[in-house]
Structure 1
Amino acid sequence: MEVATMNDSHTDSGIRERLLAGFPATERRIDLAGVPTAVLEGGDGPPIVLLHGPGEFAATWMRVMPALMATHRVVAPDLPGHGASEAGEGPLKADRVLAWLGELIERTCASRPVVAGHLLGGAIAARFACDHGDRLARLVLVDTYGLGRFRPAPRFALAMARFLVRPTPRAQDQLMGACMTDLGRLREQLGDSMKLLEAYALDRARAPGQKPVLRSLMPEFAMTPIPEADLARITVPTSLICGRHDLQVRLKVAEAASARYGWPLHVIENAADDPAFEQPEAFLEALRTEIGRPLLPRAA
């Protein structure tokens, strides 16, 4: 799912509080690498870190977090410049964002975590794992940027461009329709929670600082593929989850990465670019399959 974002003190009007009301996780704010960061946490057990996509926020994991918290300590931050997290001082370059992730793991995880990253969050996690795989237990890449050239389908590219230029409810409908296989069904299933999620997303999209953040992060993590030699250095157990009908990161990109690096690939049917939101049960089955695989001995 692709919904736009940016923290700004002059907007929101309590939408976030209503969105999170009753959600079985606690929220706290932590300064990480100079980035004031909002983090949702809950559950007990081995840690798992969930990193969302561009223009999203931690609550977009809402359909899988409660189930994961039954067996794991779940940590879901708003990425820098997203949701209620700020961008901090200076440009959001790759080294700063990777330092942010390192501090997040250090401050919130008592042991090496599973890190599951979606789209932009997946690219951040993959780049981190290239040099710091010893700090992770597993890496799960969900419809992840950076595994190949960014060539979205024209339908998605046009809808995204229109929304970025003018984030209206109509443009949001068109964008979300390109990000999901059946937006109407989800709205019927989720009711008021979906309305609040969309309202908060639209509010964030209209915040003044949104475009500079995306201009910084997308070229750093989406537009430029991660070099194959760097991906080949990832030693932590890695797997892929991809929606069958993703219009951003086409399935063939995940298939090529799976074949090249030997990473298991789970294809989620009846899902586009956000299988955790569209098909939470199938997503959880795939994730639990990977979490349950025996860990290989750590490289010396």
Structure 2
Amino acid sequence: AAGEVDYRELDIRRLQAALVEVGILSREVLTERESFPLDAAVVRRATAEGPIDLFNTAVILGHREISLPLLLDILENSSDPLKREDAALLLGLCGRPEAAPALAEIVAARRWDKGWNYTGMGQFGMSMSRLDALIIALGKTLSPLGIAPLLQRIEELDAGSEFSHCRAVSIAAAALNDRRLARALYDLLQKPGLRGHAHLSTAAVARQANSRLDETEARNAALKELLLARGLYLCGDHEGLGRSILETYAVDLRGHFARHAQAVLACRHVALLRREVM
């Protein structure tokens, strides 16, 4: 800071040497080497075992030049259905269209599992279900094979469905960018209880208030509406409903909702937003 040097331009070895001299770091630090990229044998083992834990998942996704060909081989040749599903999931999340047939078949055959609702002061562990992840992976393949099974799953949702399910279909629909999906999201937003959750006045806040200090229910309902509107807006915006809802949330009293809606509406690189939004 005193030298007005950008953090990214710091000479790390010089900084480490200074910290060694004052006893903050041990001298061994000066000869340590970066652990990445990992040895190819470690990557092959993690890929063979699959995403059984966070370490394996990080290794697989962090070394795609080695892991993706191995995952393709598992997808095509493994006799273990779960290993094939795991491979399809990872390949789909990496945007590989080869995973689309398997993912489309899985998503078409499954019914909604237990999802996750937004929980104020309680976000621990997974915030999406297995089917949520598979649907997002299917969308990321950008394959038209994903449209029919996604339409099936959207039709099953309503105001009582968990937030994570609404988020998953929104992300996948935005990525696939098909007007049939736009119509399905439009129809979903017509169902009772899914619209009208923006807070545009203190009176609206008071109407939805309850005795819970974390005010989870109001935020969960607003998140479902906002993300479904975003997905609709990004995949064709049937009847302009997605934009209309986003414009409403752009003046929501809750700044984080307003800023998100404003950012989506202001984005000029919509194709990139469709691929990257989560």
Question: Given the two structures, how large is their TM-score scaled by the length of structure 1?
Answer: 0.24
Q: Which has the higher contact order (CA 8 A, sep 6+)?
A: 1
Is the helix fraction higher in 1 or 2? 2
Higher gyration radius (CA): 2
Is the strand fraction higher in 1 or 2? 1
